[in-house]
Amino acid sequence: MHSNDLQNDDCFALRQASRHISKLYERHLSEAGITPTQFSILRTLDHGSNLTMAELAKAMVMDRTTLVRALQPLLRRGLVVAPAEGQSNRRLRVVLTRRGLAKLDEAAAHWAAAQASFERSFGQQQAAHLRNELFRMTGDVSDR
């Protein structure tokens, strides 16, 4: 037996909210010529420099194929590099370039505007609580 009650469908609610919030960040970050996923990749590389593909995929909670697709435009634009160090693809490292750091700095102001807009409409405390719960959830899920 299946239920057609979308009000009790956690997956539907999360995906719908994710698309809604993503549109807000996409609108702001597009002014810097970058997507929310690209921004998150650059920010993750800035905090954990010289990550392997596997480490970056785990940090982003993405499979490697999806990550490779997301990295391609960043590689083409010279925002990140994957230095050839004789490493196998399994140990391939991704590094933020100076150009990537400059793009991250430029995009950070647009990200901050999106963040402020979301917190104004949703509530600052509610946003912080939601963020904490989502990070708790992804931490719990990724450990399984």
What pLDDT is stored for residue 85 in this prediction?
64
Residue 93 included in any domain: yes
Residue 104 included in any domain: yes
Question: Structure tokens of 129?
Answer: 């609580």
Residues 6+ apart with CB under 8 A from 39: 25, 29, 104, 107, 111
Domain range for 82 is 25-111
Contact 95, 80 (CB under 8 A): yes
- pTM of the model as a whole: 0.85
What pLDDT is stored for residue 50 in this prediction?
78
Contact 40, 96 (CB under 8 A): no
Give pLDDT < 50 ranges for the chain.
1, 142-144
Mean pLDDT of the chain: 89
Question: Structure tokens of 116?
Answer: 């402020």
For the chain, what is the largest distance between any 2 Cα atoms, rounded to a whole number of angstroms?
56
What pLDDT is stored for residue 7 in this prediction?
82
What pLDDT is stored for residue 86 in this prediction?
52
Residue 106 included in any domain: yes
Q: What is the number of domains present in the chain?
A: 1
Count of C-beta atoms within a 10 Å radius of residue 96: 24
What pLDDT is stored for residue 21 in this prediction?
95
What pLDDT is stored for residue 42 in this prediction?
97
CATH number at residue 55: 1.10.10.10
Q: 90: exposed, middle or buried (C-beta count within 10 Å: 0-12, 13-18, 19+)?
A: exposed
Q: What are the residues facing 52 on neighbouring strands?
A: 93
Residues 6+ apart with CB under 8 A from 63: 57
pLDDT tens column, 22-59: 999 999 999 999 999 999 999 999 998 778 999 999 99
What pLDDT is stored for residue 20 in this prediction?
94
Residue 64 included in any domain: yes
